[in-house]
Chain A
Amino acid sequence: MMNNNIELKAINKTYQKSKNSTDNQVVVHDNFNLKINSGEFVALMGPSGMGKSTLLHLIGGLDKPTSGQVIIGGEQINNLNESQLTRWRADNIGFVFQSHHLLPVLTAQANVELPLALTHLNKSQRKHHAATALSLVSMADRAKHFPKELSGGQEQRVAIARAIVSDPKILLCDEPTGNLDRKTADEILSLLAKLNKEYGKTIVMVTHDLKAAEYASKVINLETYTYDLKAHNVQEARL
């Protein structure tokens, strides 16, 4: 990937409510355009049902638009087949979910190592990478703990370590602090901001939390279709 700019061009996304009906369609996005530059930390906001998570899924190649183009780093990913997308995702995207989705039978270290099974790294290299990622999220001392032995915030830190262990350029976070108290949420958001500023990760974060959005360099409100810089300059989101 030459850069990690994210471009959504003329995106239409509809869901069919019932398999047997053709007119029972829900339009989530209609001619939606968005550009996120490499290295930005963008918060996607808006009420439920506005298609925030859908946008994340489209950017992450988990879903395809009904029409339009999803271009990441200059590559139109919505034309890739399933196995190409899987490979592309492994190389370029890290996901952080509201629920951490850590595997309960694996230690924090093993959970973080999991994405490295998709690489050609050997066992000791994997261990080293995972340890580095855990250090980065200040969880090195909990490496041998199982998820049930960690607090919610610690679990989310491990989930972030898992997302960044294979060094993806883009982090997609779906309500990463939704299950956390304010203090822990702030710690996680500071960590994301650090990953953005110090390590140049492009971060797209879906959130309902205005305070969480303050950590982002750009806020896009899908309801008003405007984006809001930190200085609260209101501009048109449509390109």
Chain B
Amino acid sequence: MKKLILLLNQGCALTWINFKSFPHRIASSSISILSIACVAAVMLAVLALTDGMVKTMARTGLDNTLLVMRSGAVSELQSVMFPVEVNILANHQQIIRDKNDRAIVSAEMFVNAEFKSKSGVNDQSLSLRGINNNTYLFRPNFKLIEGAKFKTGLRQVLVGRSIARKIPELKIGSTIILGDSSWLVSGIFSDNNSVFESELWADIGIVQSDYQRGNTVQSVRLAMHDGTNINKLNEVFEADPRLNVRIIEEKVFFAQQAQDLTRLIRWIGSPVALIMAFGALIAALNTMYAAISSRSKEIATHKTIGFTPFAISISILSEAMLLACIGGLLGVLPLYLFLNDVTAATQNANSLSQMMFNFKITPFLMAQAMLLSVSIGLIGGVLPAIKAMRLPVTLALRDN
């Protein structure tokens, strides 16, 4: 035990000396610090991006809601359903009915609406959802935060809070151009930061008419009794020759969409982060080798005095990790200061329209980026530390 304490004392003494002299070497270490900072920033950005999207998607959809689309459709956009199918679905015994014995069903339209901004520079595709009064029953977190709901039969839209923040023109009382028609913004709603906050909601009849969809819808939401066996229900619907549908729990549907979205980011982002990490590793390795070369006499002196090679290697590793920590913090802190809680937009590949999400730089994500940085420092410091351990004292002392 005493030996271990003595060894740690030695390591601490040398580490302290290295840290004290580190400011003199900061310029020569800047490349590796910057490389590690870039890796930490890219890593954190990828993590925050995927985390933000997953959380947004996770807040969307309900467990006891069944989403029905045309068989083969992977998104609402690809689906088309007819009123007869909606009626058949609504009459199933597993669907909850209200006090007037009407099935709780929401038939919805979902289209990409071309938003034409007044300046012409902010034109983009937005998600326009045609809904009816029942739809609000399927959005328990819906909250009208400004204005009023749209009026049935009028060309009015209710705008999600996230998209309203991104596009200032979407404010109460303003008239906006969607496709070839003018719409009045009647209100702004929130929905627990879910995907729905990226949408514009309007009367389904007007949307069907404007987008020439006749009386078809694209998706149907059904409120199910608790404990409904989805697989059995699916078998029933599949066996019905009048139906050609795909059913999925709404929560699962959005979770799958989240996977599709984040997969692409991970496939692109992770290899980029990995390649950059490798570059940073080489830079750290190089910096530490250079530090050892320039301090070979100092290391030899320590050995001569009686410091153990192990204590010397601890000090080298500590310095490499200090370097990595500085780099990691330089990468993480600016992202935290400037991007935390920022609402970002991305193209939702499934809906082909804007999806808003919160860039949340959480302590857990920062810890992951810092862990990667420190790992780079640790791995980059191992070989130089071994070299320092093996440094032949007599040669280093002779070398003038």
Contact = CB atoms under 8 A, between A and B. Distances in A.
Contact of B297 (A63, A83, A101, A162): A101
Contacts of A114: 13, 17, 305
B301 A105 contact: no
B297 A99 contact: yes
Given A99-B297, A103-B17, A120-B2, A86 B394 contact: no
Nearest to B308: A86
A54 B392 CA distance: 13
A97 interface: yes
B242 interface: no
Most buried by B among A87, A90, A95, A117: A117
A162 B298 CA distance: 14
Nearest to A113: B13
Contacts of B118: none
A82 B306 CA distance: 11
Interface string A185-197: 0000000000000
A39 interface: no
A57 B308 CA distance: 17
A101 B6 contact: no
Interface in B377-400: 393-394, 397-398, 400
A63 B398 CA distance: 13
A86 B306 contact: yes
Interface in B297-319: 297-298, 301, 303-309
B231 interface: no
Contacts of B9: 117-118
A9 interface: no
A47 interface: no
Contacts, number: 69
B17 A57 contact: no
A156 to B, nearest CB: 14
Nearest to B305: A115
- For the residues of B in contact with A, the DSSP-based class is helix
Nearest to B295: A103
B233 to A, nearest CB: 72
Interface string A77-112: 000001100110111000101010101111000000
Nearest to B13: A117
Interface in B83-102: none
Contacts of A104: 21
Contacts of B12: 117
B134 to A, nearest CB: 74
B232 interface: no
A18 to B, nearest CB: 15
A176 interface: no
A115 B394 CA distance: 19
Interface in A132-190: 162, 174
Interface in A40-58: 53-54, 57
B394 A63 contact: yes
27 contacts: A54-B394, A62-B303, A62-B304, A62-B394, A63-B393, A83-B309, A86-B303, A87-B308, A90-B306, A95-B304, A95-B305, A99-B297, A99-B400, A101-B297, A103-B17, A103-B21, A103-B298, A104-B21, A105-B17, A105-B20, A106-B20, A117-B10, A117-B12, A118-B6, A118-B305, A118-B306, A174-B397
Interface of B: 2, 6, 9-10, 12-13, 17, 20-21, 24, 297-298, 301, 303-309, 393-394, 397-398, 400
Which 6 interchain pairs have the tightest Cβ spacing?
A90-B306, A117-B13, A101-B301, A105-B21, A105-B20, A89-B306
